[in-house]
Amino acid sequence: MVKPQLHTPQTVSLPCDQIRSFFPALNEEPGFIFFDNGAGAQIPQGVFDAIHGHLLHHNVQRGGRYPKSMEVDATIARARRSVAALINARDSDEIAFGMNATSFLRLLSLAIGRTLETRNEIVVTDLDHEANIATWLQLEREGASITWWKMREDNNLHVEDLAPLLTSKTRLVACTVASHALGSIVDVAAVAKLVHAAGAEVVLDCVHYAPHAVIDVQAFDCDYLVCSGYKIFGPHMGFMWGRRELLNALPTFREDFIPDAPPGKIEAGTFIFENVAGMAAAIAYLATLGASHGDQGEDPSPAIARAPVVRGMTLIREYEATLSAAMLEELRAAGSLIYGIDDTARLAERVPTFCFRLPNVAPEIVTETMSDCDIGIRDGHMYAPRLMKRLGVSLETGVNRASLVHYNTLQEIHEFGKVLRDMVRGR
């Protein structure tokens, strides 16, 4: 588990009707139940308005001397400060914007691959998304030696298993904060303590953790962190954080006119400004959720303070524990095989993402039956073929995944459970 979240979340409620009213897609098809948030969450109206407003009023290149261009610069600066507040960065220039988390992981691997020398060992896990594995495996061609931190039979990573893998040659450890497939949380603060004692660095994939709990790069004590906005109620874009001194030393591609300093040296070319505006609006939504339990407010554009973001994410974390408990109950009632943490006494160790299989029912049949009942879930390998292998699951069939966020409700979970039980009874 992540140390700032070690307490057991208290059961709380949120004003779900009010919260859901902020998300146009949820009201477009009122009867549809969206449990595929792990593949991308819906956006609040304020995010759409920010994207639309940028394209309508400021769809120009940054760096010009005329007002519209200067407003683009101001939008980017506000967005950097907003993301800095979201993750508790000390300096907004430690935030770089780009396409997605995967592209930033590849950028990092290319740069770090040029600095291996005698420290050439890289630790990866079999719990992670393939993006945080394959990008590092590519460095074997540059002389890297890959070490595997493997899950135990309980399908979880244990920090005490990492210690003997670390040596004087370890360059970095790459791991997730929360599993996008199993929902389990890794104690990344404990990971960082071990890794730094060995003189190495930590790269965190925070994509799946981000919509569920407070992100704090200072408490995590990591060195780099990547994230994708579309999981955090924002548009398709990504951002990366790194310690300022490490970013300054990182050998990256840049054009001659770009200073060798962050964030410019990390942002090759022009990124999508309207999506950056949308990301700032998504963080403003989270802040106003903390300020007034869901009153969106009128203007999501200014950069926001960290305190309301922390309150909003804490509310989300506590409410989602209620969702997790209800999902586990429904999955068990249908006789599902649940991969990962299935003990309601350990809700603090997971987010409401559930990887499961029904006995004697192919995952694709489960997904199609759910779809026929207006419920959206997912089946397949979840972009984690190595994890599927550890679970003893073929890539062809994969598993089912139901992934919830704070705009989902207990009533939706009960409807989901009813369909599961009907499927089992029909066999």
Residue 5's pLDDT band, with cuts at 50, 70 and 90, is very low
pLDDT in tens, 247-299: 999 999 888 888 888 999 999 889 999 999 999 999 999 999 988 654 444 34
Contact 412, 373 (CB under 8 A): no
Report residue 29's pLDDT band, with 50, 70 and 90 as the boundaries.
confident
Average model confidence (pLDDT) across the chain? 93
Q: Kindly state the average pLDDT of the residues 361-378.
A: 97
| pLDDT band (50, 70, 90) for residue 302 | low
How many angstroms separate the CA atoms of 263 and 231, rounded?
22
Structure tokens at 119: 């420290």
What's the pLDDT score for residue 10?
52
Q: For the residues 21-26, what does the mean pLDDT come to?
A: 96
Mean per-residue pLDDT for 200-207?
98
Share of the chain above pLDDT 90, in %: 87
Q: What is the mean pLDDT of residues 53-69?
A: 96
Q: What is the pLDDT of residue 254?
A: 86
What pLDDT is attached to residue 269?
87
- Reported as a single tens digit per residue, the pLDDT across 71-119 is 999 999 999 999 999 999 999 999 999 999 999 999 999 999 999 989 9
Query: Which percentage of the chain shows pLDDT scores above 70?
Result: 94
Which residues neighbour 21 within 8 Å (Cβ) at sequence distance 6 or greater? 27
pLDDT at 329: 98
Closest to 354 in 3D by CA, of 397, 389, 320, 394: 320
CA distance to 18, 42, 210, 289, 322, per residue, from 308 (Å):
18, 21, 16, 8, 22
Instruction: Please identify which residue in the block is written with the tokens 């960290």.
Output: 306
CB 357 within 8 A of CB 400: yes
Count Cβ neighbours within 10 Å for each residue of 301-338 and write b for 16 or more, e otherwise. bebbebebbbbbbbbbbbbbbbbbbbbbebbeebebeb
In this predicted structure, the answer to whether residue 301 has a pLDDT above a threshold of 50 is no
Q: Which residue type is seen at 88?
A: N
Query: Which whole number is the average pLDDT over 309-316?
Result: 96
2 pLDDT above the threshold of 50:
no
Q: What tens digit of pLDDT does each residue of 126-155 get?
A: 999 999 999 999 999 999 999 999 999 999
Q: How many CA atoms lie within 13 A of 413 on its CB side?
A: 24
| 9 compared with 25, residue with greater pLDDT | 25
Question: Prior bond to 30 cis, omega within 30?
Answer: no
